[in-house]
Amino acid sequence: MDTNRPLHLSIVTALFSLLMIAAASAGAASALSAPKATGRVDSREGAYLRKGSSTSTAAVGLLRDNTGLTIHKEVFKTRSSSSAADKWYYVTADGKKGYIRSDLVDSVKYGSANAKTTDAVNYRKGAGTGYPVAGTLGSGKTVKIVLAANPVSSTQAASSVWYRVKVGSGSYYMCSAYVKLTGSSSSSSGKSSGASPAKTTAASSSGTKSSSAASTDAKFEAALKKQGFPESYKVKLRKLHKAHPNWVFTAYRTNVSWSDAVSRQSRNGASLVHSSYGSRYRRGSSQVEPGWYNANSTAVAYYMDPRNFLTEERIMMFEDLTYRPAYQTTSVVSTILAPSKLPSKGFKASLFVKAGAACKVSPVFLAARARQETGGGSDAINGVKVLGTRVYNPFNIGAFGGTNPLYNGLLYARTKGWTTQAKAVTGGAAELSKHYINKGQNTIYFQRFNVRNGAGNIGTHQYMTNIHAPYNEAYSTRTSYSKYGILKKPLVFEIPVYNSMPAKTKLP
């Protein structure tokens, strides 16, 4: 029974106790049938889906603005505050389950289930006995349950599960131990979170579109405007939309000035160019690493400017790298790897597909990254011995710094135990997922130009220093997608927008 309620029963017998235990058990069981709600991510910068209801827990993934959610329950984090920032939702989104803070969710639509109270019980302004009592219902009263809720442990009363209920025109909370479902629950009629961002409506705030039908040009223009794409972007995006009406373009507002971003990316060691590109691309005559020079600010600006790559050949540098098994198949990965030396060294397509599925990362991206880093032939894929142990590192993780970056990478592979091709691919994929994808660097562009984690981090925590890397990887991915008809799919692209951008940039 809900503690601190105003009703006091005069008869307390052993039989009554047994009945209460039975009621509590029934309430707990019925919580499994509580209806679900739906909603959408409401954050221009996206929101992390986490393993627990706290920002200190690990991220499962980054959900972009307007992603659809199926909400299973509310989780209260305090004894008395019911503000959105002090509650979390346990949700399913993009095929993943996890927790998201409720103030980052809007457009919530609740389901409904009929229930009756099994005893006199309070209904409160929050889930838990720490919240004020709004009223009391007698035994046998009908209520509408709309969602399950978990209070903090110290206010659970007779059950760790509470219900969000409708009483009159208000929304309140009631301990489930004193409520029994009497009818089947109906889910919200809103969009299911099982859909990817590409399957949400075109008129939404993030500009996503239905995969079943292309949005009208008017809606497309409205979506571009709402997201804040400058006209210089729109000119390029209109052409892509005409050729690929199912593609989804979302803007990421960096909120940093263009000149500041270029300056930070032009610092020593942040952006490098290979010696084969000539001196006009370089800043200074000293090599940072063997064969590599600091790129000058003009070269950095050109390769950092998203508008230069909103084309059929290079758009894939902005593709979301989330695992999407419907089209990220073994055949597609094989096409990526075929021109390289990776297959002949035992790096089969199936290894990348298995690693992608396990780590929730696009295997096409993994294959393209390995091809870019080591596909031309490298001891990193030859299985050379380091301190007596044969190791592999197809992604060149840790291969930077000093006079022998390759050796540094192989030494790193030894510390990780990457002693087979399979271990190296899976281990590398896990690191890419943990250290980049789940930190918001979920495109090739963001891995090269880190503008997702605050102005102070621009030019730091970047997977590669080669300013041409996104340019090259994007082309190989696009070629493979074209061969297998994947360009017709509702691909999702996240494109950065800077403040005070110049009219255009050009090569040195």
Residues 27 and 53 in one domain: yes
Question: Confidence class of residue 5 from pLDDT cuts 50, 70 and 90?
Answer: very low
Residues 474 and 367 in one domain: no
Count of domains forming the chain: 3
Question: Confidence class of residue 378 from pLDDT cuts 50, 70 and 90?
Answer: very high
Residues 420 and 382 in one domain: yes
Does 17 have pLDDT greater than 60? no
Average pLDDT for 208-215: 39
Per-residue confidence (pLDDT) for residue 488, from 0 to 100? 85
Average pLDDT for 403-410: 88
Looking up residue 176, the CATH number of its domain turns out to be: 2.30.30.40
Integer CA distances (angstroms), 473 to 8, 205, 374, 405, 425, in order? 71, 30, 12, 21, 18
Question: Which candidate, 71, 64, 159, 61, places its Cα nearest to that of 118?
Answer: 159
Residues 415 and 373 in one domain: yes
**276 vs 201: CA distance, rounded Å:** 46
Give residue-wise pLDDT tens across range 135-163: 899 899 999 999 999 998 777 776 788 99
Per-residue confidence (pLDDT) for residue 185, from 0 to 100? 55
Mean pLDDT of the chain: 84
Per-residue confidence (pLDDT) for residue 39, from 0 to 100? 93
Does 480 have pLDDT greater than 50? yes
Strand 248-257, strand 492-499: pairing: parallel
Per-residue confidence (pLDDT) for residue 13, from 0 to 100? 38
SS (H, E, C) 158-188: CCCCEEEEEECCEEEEEEHHHEEECCCCECC
Residues 253 and 208 in one domain: yes
Domain boundary pick from 395, 420, 439: 439
Average pLDDT for 36-57: 86
DSSP string, 206-245: T----SSSPPPHHHHHHHHHHHT--HHHHHHHHHHHHH-T
Residues 172 and 214 in one domain: no
Residues 16 and 159 in one domain: yes
Phi first, then psi, for residue 83 (nearest 5°) are -65, 155
Residues 233 and 308 in one domain: yes
Give residue-wise pLDDT tens across range 153-206: 777 776 788 999 998 888 999 999 888 888 755 655 433 333 333 333 333 333
Structural domain harbouring 374? 328-439
Per-residue confidence (pLDDT) for residue 216, from 0 to 100? 61
Residues 23 and 120 in one domain: yes
Residues 93 and 135 in one domain: yes
Domain boundary pick from 379, 405, 439: 439
Question: Confidence class of residue 27 from pLDDT cuts 50, 70 and 90?
Answer: very low
Question: Confidence class of residue 445 from pLDDT cuts 50, 70 and 90?
Answer: very high
Residues 390 and 468 in one domain: no
**117 vs 102: CA distance, rounded Å:** 28
Question: Confidence class of residue 457 from pLDDT cuts 50, 70 and 90?
Answer: confident
Per-residue confidence (pLDDT) for residue 325, from 0 to 100? 86
Question: Which candidate, 72, 37, 24, places its Cα nearest to that of 176?
Answer: 24
Question: Tokens in use for 5?
Answer: 């309620």
Domain boundary pick from 439, 460, 485: 439
Please check whether residue 66 is in contact with residue 204, taking contact to mean a CB–CB distance below 8 angstroms: yes
Per-residue confidence (pLDDT) for residue 31, from 0 to 100? 38
Give the Cβ contact number of residue 219 at 10 Å: 16
Which one-letter amino acid corresponds to residue 230?
A: P
**Residues 6 or more apart from 285 whose CB is under 8 A from it?**
279, 293
Give residue-wise pLDDT tens across range 225-239: 888 999 999 999 999
Residues 384 and 300 in one domain: no
